[in-house]
Structure 1
């Protein structure tokens, strides 16, 4: 299952985002073993060196741990995973706010619109 990568963002970063998204959604659980570098590279259609960089970055971020002779595992540090959720949430909100401000929408206007949509009303 090869992935269609965006041309304006490095592939390794897109893969980091994909894996962290899987963790945040709960599709990959704390302490769960990740596929080997080679397996994951073949699965997504990238060079093994790219996957090695992804795993190294995830480890530096404290999201994964490599156990010699066993493989790479998602951290079971719940505090770190909650911090990851908060970081992603903050990034999404910041991106959203930057976008709406650039287009001239006010925060109040957007909050009201979102609340209207949540109630199932037309905006």
Structure 2
């Protein structure tokens, strides 16, 4: 499910958060899918449950997860993803695109990359992943 890299400079909770976000974004976790309990995931990754709880709380604030008291945490529908997160990603995209253009990439090459990314997403959706 999630791979931790202890040589990574990022804190463990960030790695867990990024790993879970990736599973939601790629469709490996569909809207409504139940996530492992904090204790179960902490046990399987051999880390402190507080670390998992911190990652779950951050993802809930970002809109990727929702929690039902007594039931657990679940992947949110795509429409529920926080607008602020989307805006932040668009700012990163704009900055990256501007730098790539500065480094000599053409607008057509960027457009092609974007179309390829959209094509990969469409292919995953058609396969039901």
**Structure 1 counterpart of 2:80:** 80
The answer as to whether partners of 1:22 and 1:28 remain within 8 angstroms in 2 is: yes
SS at match of 2:25: helix
Q: How far apart, in 1, do the equivalents of 2:5 and 2:20 lie?
A: 15
The answer as to whether partners of 1:37 and 1:51 remain within 8 angstroms in 2 is: yes
TM-score by length of 2: 0.65
Q: How far apart, in 2, do the equivalents of 1:49 and 1:91 lie?
A: 31
Q: For the pair shown, which has the larger CA radius of gyration, 1 or 2?
A: 1
Structure 1 window deviating more from structure 2 (60-69 vs 26-35): it is: 60-69
The answer as to whether partners of 2:42 and 2:48 remain within 8 angstroms in 1 is: yes
Q: Alpha carbons of 1:100 and 1:45: their partners in 2 closer, same or farther (altered >3 Å)? A: farther
**Structure 1 counterpart of 2:126:** none
Q: How far apart, in 2, do the equivalents of 1:51 and 1:91 lie?
A: 28
RMSD over aligned Cα atoms? 3.4
The answer as to whether partners of 2:38 and 2:52 remain within 8 angstroms in 1 is: yes
TM-score by length of 1: 0.67
Per-residue deviation at 1:84?
9.1
Which structure 2 segments of 5+ residues have no match? Answer: 117-129
Q: Alpha carbons of 1:37 and 1:105: their partners in 2 closer, same or farther (altered >3 Å)? A: same
Structure 1 window deviating more from structure 2 (2-11 vs 49-58): it is: 2-11
Residue of structure 2 aligned with 1:111, choices 104, 109, 112: 109
Q: How far apart, in 2, do the equivalents of 1:89 and 1:61 lie?
A: 12
Which structure 1 segments of 5+ residues have no match? Answer: 119-123
**Structure 2 counterpart of 1:26:** 27
